[in-house]
Amino acid sequence: MVRLERRIRAVSDRALASGALVPIATETETLVDGGVEFQVRVADNLQRKDAQTRVGAGAGAGSRKRTDPFLPYEEALYVADVGADHVGLLNKFNVIAHHLLVVTRAFEDQRDLITRADFAALWMCLRKIDGLGFYNGGEEAGASQPHKHLQLVMLPLADSGPRIPMEPALDQALAKGTATDGITASRALGFPHSLVRVEGGALDQGADLGGVAQGLHERYLALLAHAGLGVRARQQRQTAPYNLLVTRRWMLLVPRVVEHFEEVSLNGLAFAGSLFVRDRAQLRTLRRVGPMHALGAVTPVHRA
């Protein structure tokens, strides 16, 4: 973990050479909507991923059997142990280079609440890498696997413009101050969300990781409550889908109702301003309606 970024790059190079890593080639288009410079990655060819996904699915769409790609995980994609309870793996079908998955060693459900151990693992990575962590809480939020995993991509997300397209609007909201519970929201964004600042001392290498994880977990629970998302206490499971985004400076939670806007699938990265479409037809859909409208359409009704 000492040289995590170097390790990710080295494993990526080897996995690319062996064919274990199957990146999706894209071209990037910028769509400006609501003052945000959305970065839309347009797939060049998804046939290889689709073919391998069908093979990996094994039993077929109508079957209850479903292969867990993390038990066992593909050795060529292994990056590092992340604490006692998680492993870091490369995202096999990555759209963004050096995309890391932080996966629970034992099976936990993707609909379970994020735990203090999960936050500790994610923060171990964020201490080493200036990145964007995100979590797709349930299929309606874009989760493609039922085995719990957080995700991390390196910043910046684009070659030009803000390091995170949505961040200027979030920074403005944080600069205006927060409520007594520390939670705020940006009126510039066309979707419901809850935003909270991460304490600056959390990045201190000498700071107790357990204490940092506890603080992040408490803020996460406060965000869930602020968004009106209850918790099934006995199961420690969410009652509704959501996306959580985490950087070194803030956490953003967005409640969800569906995964798709028309044919466009939207996961947590979309609420950072980074979207992925399968073809030019889907790009035309986003250009026609505007990315901000699409984000609002997959969330509960926004009340300013």
Nearest-5° Cα angle at 182, 179 to 184: 65
What pLDDT, in 10s, does the model give residues 256-290? Answer: 999 999 999 999 999 999 999 999 999 999 999 99
- What are the respective helix, strand and coil percentages of the chain, to the nearest 5? 30, 25, 45
Confidence of residue 60 (pLDDT cuts 50, 70, 90): very low
Residue 170 lies in a domain: yes
Cβ 128 vs Cβ 145: under 8 Å: no
Work out the number of other CB atoms within 10 angstroms of the CB of residue 258. 13
Residue 287 lies in a domain: no
3-state secondary structure (DSSP) of residue 40: strand
Per-residue model confidence (pLDDT) at position 57 = 37
Confidence of residue 56 (pLDDT cuts 50, 70, 90): very low
The pair of structure tokens assigned to 263 is 């044919």
pLDDT above 70: residue 63:
no
Residue 227 lies in a domain: yes
- Axis-axis angle for helices 209-226, 116-128 (nearest 10): 110
- The length of the chain in residues reads 304
* Residue-number span of the structural domain to which 140 is assigned: 4-24+46-54+69-256
3-state secondary structure (DSSP) of residue 139: helix
Q: Is the dihedral of CA 68, 72, 73, 76 positive or negative?
A: negative
Which DSSP state fits 61? T
Per-residue model confidence (pLDDT) at position 65 = 53
What pLDDT, in 10s, does the model give residues 173-232? Answer: 999 876 667 999 999 999 999 999 998 788 887 889 999 999 999 999 999 999 999 777
CATH code: domain of residue 208:
3.30.428.70
The pair of structure tokens assigned to 110 is 């993707």
- Axis-axis angle for helices 116-128, 4-18 (nearest 10): 90
3-state secondary structure (DSSP) of residue 132: strand
Work out the number of other CB atoms within 10 angstroms of the CB of residue 231. 14
Residue 151 lies in a domain: yes
Residue 215 lies in a domain: yes
Per-residue model confidence (pLDDT) at position 201 = 82
C-alpha pair distances (Å), 158 with each of 40, 56, 125, 171, 228 = 10, 31, 21, 18, 33
39-62 burial: b if 16+ Cβ within 10 Å, else e: bbbbbeeeeebeeeeeeeeeeeee
Looking at 14-23, 152-161, 177-186, 202-211, which range is the least confident one? 177-186
CA atoms within 13 A of residue 208's CA, in its CB half-sphere = 5
pLDDT above 70: residue 55:
no
Residue 289 lies in a domain: no
**Total domains, the chain:** 1
Residue 299 lies in a domain: no
Per-residue model confidence (pLDDT) at position 181 = 79
Residue 109 lies in a domain: yes
Per-residue model confidence (pLDDT) at position 62 = 39
- Looking at every residue in the chain, the average pLDDT score rounds to 91
Work out the number of other CB atoms within 10 angstroms of the CB of residue 87. 20
* Own/partner pairs, 279-285, CB within 8 angstroms, 24+ separation: 279/42, 279/43, 280/42, 282/42, 283/29, 283/40, 283/42, 285/261
pLDDT above 80: residue 301:
no
pLDDT above 90: residue 304:
no
Q: Which residues contact 34 (CB under 8 A, 6 or more apart)?
A: 188, 189, 190, 290, 292
Q: Is the dihedral of CA 141, 143, 146, 150 positive or negative?
A: negative
User: Mean pLDDT across the stretch 51-76?
Assistant: 64
Look up the pTM and report it: 0.92
